[in-house]
A and B are shown apart, each in its own frame.
Chain A
Amino acid sequence: MSELSGVVERLLERSQAIVSKDRQVLTLGVAGCVIRIVSAGPAMLNFVRPAFAHLEPLADDVPADLTVTTWDSRSTGEPYPDLPLVDVGPLATGIVTAPGLLMSYYSVGRAMSVLNRTADQAMFIVDDASILPPWERPSPLRTILSWWFMDRGKLLAHAAAVSTDDGAALLIGPSGSGKSSTALACLAGGMGYLGDDYVLIDLASNEVWSLFGSAKLVADHLMQNPGLMTSDGVIVHEAKAVKHYGWPSTEFPERARLRAPIRALVLPTVTRGPECRLVPSTSARALLALAPSTMFQSPALKETAFGLSTDLVRCFSPFRLELGEGVEQVPTMLSELICQGREKA
């Protein structure tokens, strides 16, 4: 393992040399922190930029809290890192932790994420930016950002968030529970929008921050509601429905919100009943809806993700949102719930 750690340390140095040849920079304000993405040429920067287009751009000389160096082998002509590899199957994620280092390798697209936790330096290296899996595009650099923010007590939660002037409702649940549909229905209904799949939670202040300005919507729902979002691509999972992704935070900038105090935890559930309604739920149900999928998307730090998820659900009295007929009523229902949450706070 120490040998691997040495390989990665040298790779960090090599990456910085590679990006220095055609250095392209995107500096962003995210959740009160300055994140600098330094790309070797335009390929990787163009890949990650749309998801962050709604965030506050900062000058490139502002001191960064985290610097992410990114490059792809094809567009730079640089050989992909020569790592010792073990065949494990058609799809695989590998993780390794060493003192001060977190690393993951995803065999699809040969995507390598590395975080030097003590130096606040990261790198994201792929084989070919032009053929990365489409599910990476709505939430790029997810693993690195999840790790780095978790070290600062902030949880990259598998959740959606919508808001009013009174605060935000966090929508939690596994894939297919109705998070995206609810979030986009609320956006269409005039509410603020912070994200539909991953949002950042600051446990110290119980605030939610927008990170990715994307949304993913099943094809049928998008076709039935063409005004919700313009599709920019398609994600096909063998076992799941076809989903379109787009950039509602950029498409509807007047409704994009960057932060809001959390006032309510809501667990959407598709019931197809005669009405939509809110029903009191329990903290355990909220944890069950939030923690597992958040944990499994935080490789190497699952225990931390579980602990932060528990801290969050303890702070609220959650509600189950039964999604039946009359989805157009949901924005009003959630706005009232947020208002009640503010009065209790």
Chain B
Amino acid sequence: MWFVDPNKVMSELLDGEAVIVDLASGRYHAAVGVAATVWEGILCGHSFEHIMDDVQRAHTGLPADAEHHVKEFIVRVVDSGLAIPSTELLSTSDTRSPIGVEPTPWVAPVLESHDDLADLMLIDPVHDVTDQGWPHAARQDP
């Protein structure tokens, strides 16, 4: 199972496409079709087996190495900082909208990532104000 921090990651599923925004890094992502199904499973706290069941119900023509593709996608999601592996049941939900009424053909899941705003975040990071004070531009030594 995996855990997605709702304070860090925002996501919306629209017509079988997931839009995912990482508030911490500024990167944002799209997951379409099988990728959206897997992402929704991760978001709902499903196990890998449960996610594969979701994929089999929502998509047709799964190849023999479908599990391998799904595992690779999940690794990419974790490496991107969108989810962390979890051994305990942090949240489970079946309340999200179904991916689609009619099963759609299998397409190997891909996480489409955009980092044009991440560049912006690097030069203009937003810092929380703490008890130590407000963030201030560090003085540059001449």
Contacts and interface: CB of A to CB of B under 8 A. Distances in A.
B140 interface: yes
A91 B140 CA distance: 11
Nearest to B17: A284
Contacts of B135: 85-89, 92-94, 105, 107
A287 interface: yes
A57 B138 CA distance: 41
Contact of A4 (B119, B129, B139): B129
Contact of B10 (A3, A94, A282, A302): A302
A95 interface: yes
Given A83-B134, A107-B136, A92 B14 contact: no
Given A94-B129, A95-B129, A284-B15, A302 B134 contact: no
Interface string B23-50: 1001010101000000000000000000
Contact of A282 (B15, B119, B123, B130): B15
Interface string A108-152: 100000000000000000000000000000000000000000000
Contacts of B114: 288, 292
B131 A1 contact: yes
B100 interface: no
Interface stretch (A34-42, A252-260, A306-314): A306-314
A288 B112 CA distance: 11
Interface stretch (A266-274, A293-301, A334-342): A293-301
Interface residues of B, number: 37
Given A287-B12, A314-B14, A94 B128 contact: yes
A282 B116 CA distance: 21
Contacts of B132: 84, 86
Interface in B110-142: 114, 116-117, 119-121, 123-140
A296 B14 contact: no
B77 to A, nearest CB: 17
Interface string A191-227: 0000000000000000000000000000000000000
Interface string A215-245: 0000000000000000000000011000000
B137 A90 contact: yes
Nearest to B138: A87
A239 B115 CA distance: 14
A215 to B, nearest CB: 21
A296 B121 contact: yes
Contacts of A3: 131
A1 B100 CA distance: 46
B124 A93 contact: yes
B52 interface: no
Contact of A86 (B19, B26, B30, B136): B136
Interface in A58-117: 83-96, 103, 105, 107-108
B51 interface: no
Given A284-B17, A287-B12, A302-B10, A83 B133 contact: yes
Given A85-B136, A285-B30, 12 more contacts: A84-B133, A86-B127, A91-B125, A92-B124, A92-B127, A94-B129, A107-B135, A239-B119, A284-B12, A292-B117, A295-B21, A296-B117
The 10 closest A-B pairs by CB, nearest first: A84-B133, A284-B17, A85-B136, A107-B137, A96-B129, A87-B138, A94-B135, A88-B135, A283-B14, A92-B135
27 contacts: A1-B129, A1-B131, A4-B134, A83-B133, A85-B133, A86-B136, A87-B138, A88-B125, A88-B136, A88-B138, A89-B125, A92-B125, A94-B128, A105-B134, A105-B135, A107-B137, A108-B137, A174-B116, A239-B123, A282-B14, A283-B14, A284-B17, A285-B17, A288-B114, A291-B19, A292-B26, A303-B10
